[in-house]
Each structure stands twice: as structure tokens, then as C-alpha cells.
Amino acid sequence: MNDDEKNKKAILGVYEELKGLLVAIESKNSWFDDNGFSAHANLIIERVPIVCPEIEDVATYRIRPEHINDRGNIVKPIPAKAKLNSIIGRLKGLYGLDTPTKNDGNTFIQNQSQNQSQFLNFALELQEKIISEIPKYAEGTKERSFLEKLKSALPTIKSATDILSKALRIGADFGLDPATIHKLLGL
């Protein structure tokens, strides 16, 4: 086996490990990091520049759990999934990984993965929008309360339809009409 083949195998190994991490958190809302998931994930992420010299800085891809009181650290899945999808996509783009040579029945899975990636990007953009809008409204106003409650519900949302449904339901709870919700979220 020549050096190119060894390097390609090493790259593919890291790539598959990252995909495995992503699968492990697909159905999670959030969880305590007492099993060392983030440390394990970060060890794999730190191996990327060793086998892939084109990717030098991996600091932005590291999984950073949040400290929650004395109970330990919690990992939030939306940022973790986005970071993993980002580095996986970068590897895929640089090295042409996962490029099917024929239709082997994985088209549905690939489309589902692309849709999920687009949803995660949308959810992250929405979260950033909500965070930027909250300070614009006084404490205790129904607009601010709506934004805060929707922000806290984001980790449990699994689809764009779910976002819309929750936004309308929470908005109705605070007496907001759909036009106001639209304005608040910038949709």
C-alpha cells in the first residue's frame, strides 16, 4: 500500500468516525456529557488536520458543552450537529468522499441528510435572530416573553413544520397574531 492509499484510508477513517458521532446525536434533544461524548468527539476532530493538511484550524468545530450548576455539563445538539455537519461537508468537498458511482438505493437517505442539514442551518439562523431580537423588547412584554419561550423550545424542535407550529402556538398563548410573529422572527 503506497502513501496515497494510506492517507486516503486515514482520511476516510476520520470521516466515518465523524459521521458516526453525528448519528449518535441525531435523535437527542440535549443530554448531560457525563459519558465523555464531547471529549471523544474533540479527539476525533483534532485528528483532522493530522490526516488532512488542507484543514489546519479545527477550533471552530470543537464541541463545547455548557456547564450547568453542580449537575455537570450539557451538550446542546443543534450547535453540535451543525459543527459536525460542517466539518463532514468540508472533508466531503475536499476529498470527494461519499460520491456514489451508481444509484444504490441511498438517494432517499442522501436527500434526507441534505434536508436535515438545511433545517439545522435554518434553526441556527432562527436562534441567532431570536437572540438578537430579545433585547429590543422590555422585560415582561408579551413580545419578549414569546421570544424567550420560543428560544427555550428550539432544542426540542425537529422540523421546519414543528418550528412554525410551536411559534404559532406560543404566539397565541401570548396573544400575538401571525403578522406580529412574522415580524418578530423576520420570516
CA distance 183 to 187: 7
Q: Across all residues in the chain, what is the average pLDDT?
A: 80
Burial status of residue 50 (CB atoms within 10 A of its CB: 0-12, 13-18, 19 or more): exposed
Question: Where are the domains positioned within the chain?
Answer: 3-99, 118-185
pLDDT at 173: 93
The span from the CA of 171 to the CA of 177, in Å, is: 7
pLDDT band for 174, please (50, 70, 90 cuts): very high
Residue 120, Cβ neighbours under 10 Å: how many? 19
pTM value?
Answer: 0.50
Q: pLDDT value at position 77?
A: 80
Q: pLDDT tens for residues 93-144?
A: 888 876 554 455 555 555 555 556 676 777 778 888 888 889 999 999 999 9
Give Dmax (Cα) for the chain: 68
Contact 150, 170 (CB under 8 A): yes
